[in-house]
Amino acid sequence: MQFNLTEEQLMIRQAARDFAQTELKPGVIERDEHQKFPAGQIKKLGELGFMGMMVSPQYGGSGMDAVSYSLVMEELSKIDASTSVVLSVNNSLVCYGLERFGNEEQKQKYLVPLATGQVIGAFCLSEPEAGSDATSQRTTATDMGDYYLLNGIKNWITSGSTASTFIVMAQTDASQKHRGINALIVEKDMDGFEVGAKENKMGIRGSDTHSLMFNDVRVPKANRIGDEGFGFKFAMAVLEGGRIGIASQALGIAAGAYELSLQYAKERKAFGKPLAELQAIQFKLADMATEIDAARLLCHKAAWLKDNGKPYAQAAAMAKLFASDTAMRVTTEAVQIHGGYGYVKEYHVERLMRDAKITQIYEGTSEIQRIVISREVLK
C-alpha cells in the first residue's frame, strides 16, 4: 500500500474540493433547512464523471480507482453529506452491482445512463421489519413465468423520489430462505410502483429518503440480476463496497468539522488569548486530528485492497465502524469548541453533528460492523 497519492488522485481530490467549495457550500444551509434536493449539483457531478467514478469507460464511467472514490467522498462530505450520499449509493451500490453482476443487456440499458449521470439509481433493501437484514425480506417476487409479480414495502430509500432505476431485493421462494432471494431492476414508471411520503430526518436533510410501495408490479425476468436466488449474495457483495463509501463520508464529516474548529480556535479569543492557546482546546484538537488520520488510513486501506483484488470485507467494516464513531465524537467536540456559536446553523458544525449520526446507522449499524469484523477475525 502506497501512502503517497498519485498525481491523478491528487488532481481528482482537488477537483472535488473545488466543487465542494464553489458548488456545494453556497446554499447548503438552505438546502438542509428546507430539505431541498441538490438536483443541480448532482447534475454537475455527473458531468464531471463522478456519478460513475469506478465504472469502465466502456459503459460511460470514468474508470477511476476506489481510493479516488474515497477521496471524492471525503471532500464532498466535508461540506454537504446530503449530496455525497446520493453519489455514494449511485456508485457503490447501483453502478458497482450492475457492472460486476449484470449481463450485457442490463449494462447497456441501465448502467450507461447511471454512470454518465443521466439518471440516478437507488438500492432497496431495508424494510419496516427487516432493516439491514437481507435474510428477512418480506417483499415478494412471485414467479409468473416470464415475469415476477413484485409486492411489498421498502423503507429508508435514499433518492427514493429522484431515482429512475431501482435495485430491489425480494423473496421468491421462502422455503429456500436466503437462497430464495432475487435482485430485480425496477423502473420508476412501472405500473403499481408508488413513492411514499418523504421522511423528515434529523440529518442529511437535502437527500430525499422515502418509503416505496410495490403493488403487483410486473418485473420482466430479464431484469433479474444473476441466477435465480442470487439476490442475497448480490446484496452482501455490494454492501461491502458501500461501506467504503460511507466510511469515507463519515471521515469527510469529521474532517470538515475539525477544519472549522481549527480555524475558529485560531480566530476566537477568550480570557485575552486565542482559544488555540488554551491547553484544553489543544487537547481536543489533538484527539480530533489523530482519530481523523486513523480513520483516513482505514478508508484508504479498504479502498486499496478493493483496487488490488484482495479481500476487503473486514477492512471495509473496520473503516466504517471507526470512521462513523469518529464522526460523532469529532462533530460533538466541534460544537463544544464553538460554544454557543456551534449551536446555530451559521457556523455549520451543528449540521455536521446531525449528519454524522446517520453514518453509524446506514450500510449496517455499528453493531453489524462488529459482527462482520468478529466473524473475519475468528475464522
DSSP one-letter string for 166-179? EEEEEES-GGGGGG
Among 23, 75, 99, 363, the active-site one is 363
Q: Which of 327, 331, 355 is nearest to 342 (CA)?
A: 331
| Cα Rg, the chain, nearest whole Å | 21
CA 371 – CA 229 distance, rounded (Å) = 24
Strand partners, 121: 165
Residue 336: is it exposed, middle or buried by C-beta count within 10 angstroms (0-12/13-18/19+)?
middle
Instruction: Identify whether 363 is a catalytic site residue.
Output: yes
Q: What are phi and psi of 214, to 5 degrees?
A: -120, 115
CA 90 – CA 256 distance, rounded (Å) = 23
Query: What is the dihedral angle through the alpha carbons of 97, 100, 101, 103, rounded to the nearest 10 degrees?
Result: 110
CA 31 – CA 255 distance, rounded (Å) = 21
Q: Which of 188, 179, 191, 189 is nearest to 226 (CA)?
A: 179
Give me the residue label for grid cell 455499528.
366
CA 78 – CA 244 distance, rounded (Å) = 16
CA 132 – CA 240 distance, rounded (Å) = 13
CA 88 – CA 272 distance, rounded (Å) = 45
Cell of 12: 481528482
CA angle (236 as vertex; 307, 169 as ends), nearest 5:
130
Which residues are catalytic, by number? 363
